[in-house]
Amino acid sequence: MGPLEGKTVLDLSRYGPGRYCSMILADFGAEVITVETPRFASELPSLVTDDVGARYLGQNRNKKSIALNLKNEEGKKIFYRLAEKADVILETFRPGVVKRLGVDYETVKKYNPRVVYCSISGYGQDGPYSQRPGHDLNYVGLAGVLHMIGQKEGPPTYLPVQMADLAGGTSQATIAILAALIAQDKTGKGQYIDVSMTDGVVFYQWTLAMMYLIDGIQLERAELPTGSDHAWMNIYKAKDGKYFTVATLEPWLWANLCRLVGRQDFADTQFGPPERQREMYSGLSEVFATKDRDEWVKLLNEANVCVAPVCTFAETFSDPQIVHRKLVVEIDHPKRGKVKVLNTPYKLSETPAQVRTRPPLYAEHTAEILGSMLGLSDKELERLRKKQVIE
């Protein structure tokens, strides 16, 4: 039994931050119903509606899918009836859109005062930027992250992992929703959650931002091409052209490294000035160029030094640690056959999160949900299809 079993989530979101959040809730046992826009009424890019695409398959397992035209008055009334039975509603539209559609928190709470309603947006529901369009790259730029990534004389470096979407949006929303559900169980009351992805990225900079706020220190881009000016925390190239990471924050780890590579002359200057760091980086780079990556990883591990290879996905997903932790599971899909998806990383001994069902086909459960939850007959469902209320 999942800890969220018995909780119902209506997910109006279209993109990763909301979809990944509701997937986590579904992994923990919540019944998540994605409320899609019918394809006949959709202006969304195909990557959002393609139910056999990697993006869709990667964020919709354990869910059911209905398609409801919220611009149609009958569609809106159906949504209100579903909202009456929901514990959580999640949306990721630009601020103001759900109000224009008539499915905003103030409207919905008239039908269900105990609902937890979460909005995820780029800049938040208020403030001078609230109406600006944006994507992950914009938010990490504004939050100060990009300024510190890359080489000093070059431009900031693009982040391919969606830090703002997932850390700033998904994680913040999931934490807030879980807290609100605890409050809901205690008080019987719902509440509104305003998640800003930009806020989340700023908040997660618990070291670098605090160094600036407390001591006025602004980290700049590095002079070394790896993006780090610290010899003791860097990326090194091996003889075979592959890279590995070395992270020796603790002095005894740095001493182990220096002893292994025969550079005890570096041991006492771990935290030396920039010119010394560059000298040590150069010296270590020369040593590391004498053996292949995997040999260095083995030797450094045996010397009790924090080391790991820089992996391709092929290497990551065949790595014995990743395999042992079962971070990939295989599911059967009616259109794509056997498909590998990322498994949940949450390991609870008594109420584990788990992959229970495959991602739904687009609008696959419209008839099932509207029939079981609202009691609509086959005849009524057919009438709604003809009126383009549902798909």
What pLDDT does residue 42 have?
74
The verdict on residue 337 lying in a domain is no
The verdict on residue 322 lying in a domain is no
What pLDDT does residue 48 have?
78
Structural domain count of the chain: 1
Q: What is the pLDDT of residues 186-236, one digit of tens each?
A: 999 999 999 999 999 999 999 999 999 999 999 999 999 999 999 999 999
- pLDDT of 1 > 80? The answer is no
What pLDDT does residue 93 have?
95
The verdict on residue 268 lying in a domain is no
What pLDDT does residue 23 have?
97
CA 140 vs CA 13, 158, 348: distances in Å: 21, 10, 32
pTM of the entire structure?
0.94
Least confident of 40-44, 97-101, 124-128, 157-161: 40-44
What pLDDT does residue 39 have?
87
Rounded mean pLDDT, 338-359: 94
Domain that holds residue 170: 8-203+346-386
Rounded mean pLDDT, 61-75: 96
- pLDDT of 183 > 80? The answer is yes
What pLDDT does residue 375 have?
96
Share of the chain above pLDDT 70, in %: 100
For helices 16-27 and 172-187, angle between their N-to-C axes, nearest 10 degrees: 50
pLDDT tier at 274 (50, 70, 90 boundaries)? very high
The verdict on residue 293 lying in a domain is no
CATH number for the domain harbouring residue 118: 3.40.50.10540
Q: How far apart are CA 208 and CA 61, in angstroms?
A: 36
Please count the other Cβ atoms lying within 10 Å of the Cβ belonging to residue 163.
21
The verdict on residue 218 lying in a domain is no
The verdict on residue 88 lying in a domain is yes
* Of 127, 126, 59, 57, residue with least CA distance to 90: 59
